[in-house]
Structure 1
Amino acid sequence: MTTLIRLAKRAPGSPVDLFHSQADRASDWSAAARYGLRAATQALTLPAAYRSGEPVCDVIDELAFDDEASAVRCLADPAFRRALGSPLLDAASLACLVVEEHVAKPGPVPASFVKNYELVTKRPDMDRAEFDRYWAQVHGPLAATIPTIRRYVQAHLAPRARAAGAASYDGLAITWFDDVAAMRAGAATDAYARTRADEANFLAGELPFVITTEQATYPLA
């Protein structure tokens, strides 16, 4: 399974509450159906995140395809490109990643949950293959020991995306928690401290992150 991920900010001047009330209109994926779109979700940054300033993005969409070739063909379709550039969004902020998922901590998604996305950039002096290996085989098992994480998925760039070398980020670390309180509790553990300390071994600087809630946008009931 390959996932096409869109990250974006809302249009300049748009109030957060207004954007949240209209955001589903920015995720019309009917043009992707012909390429075998399996499912799509839309994650909106929690309103509380804006108390400390603007987050790195307001919305993250995940579109699931059978393989990378299908996702790439979809991304090249002019009708789909128009859907990506909704007038509700800041065109300059749009970023798309084609990724393959590595499940670092399996587990069911809770019925009620918050979903955290960390935007990953590899250390510039690190070979791409070694970065992917270290993230999956060393760092992943370490982060999986954080007790309050319900599920943890690493979204690594798919092969063509890696080869092109033009992606805005090198991947996403995606974790599910029961709620924000559970996230905070996890951040107070020794496992979290060990995980953060390891980041310098393969990452470039701090990880921008957003805490979100999610809804399905394709197929719709």
Structure 2
Amino acid sequence: MHAQIVLFDGFDPLDAVAPFEVLHASGAVTVELVTAEGPREVVGGTGGLTLRATAALDPGRAGLVVVPGASGAAEPQADDSIPAVLGRTLSTALPALLKTAMDDPDVTVATVCGGSLVLAMAGLLDGRHAVTHHLGMDMLDATGARAVHARVVDDGDLVTAGGVTSGLDLGLYLLEREVGPRIAHAVEELFAYERRGTVWRAAGPVPAGER
């Protein structure tokens, strides 16, 4: 299996690196850093930490496409606020590439933290179950997505994760789902990290409070 982790200017480094390391450690998934534009140095939103993307995002390549969130100022009106950073992705080729990936039955698109808002703001999550950072849940709802308060939400070919550290949980869940629980457990032991929370899926009886 192959995973493409998407970088964009102002991305949150932990959102990208956590799933990268988890998936790579499995030995069963090849992982690369990509951008909409192709190989380049990409400056993250945390202290100017820079990672190098080695390829362009290929939305037709079977496997996983992982979209991180952004890191930025807490003030919502600031030019480098997280909503502003995420919003700037809409003027790039990324939304069209992600739409192509989401339309491909052989691709699972996954997000960490505000990564789901990139999809949502591009109009790609209408009616889909998803989660984002707790501070962005209202924004997610406003786009037409069906926001779910869970650590990880599995909506079939869309798997989203909540806050920044949930990239670890996302990576381990993707390993369990796509490769198998024995591999996921081995990586969990290697990282000395136990996943948090129940993965939400639209399966089983509906709880009384949600009817």
Alignment TM-score, normalising by the size of structure 1: 0.31
Higher fraction of strand: 1
Instruction: Select the structure with the greater relative contact order (CA < 8 A; seq sep ≥ 6).
Output: 1
Which structure has the bigger radius of gyration? 1
TM-score, normalisation: structure 2: 0.32
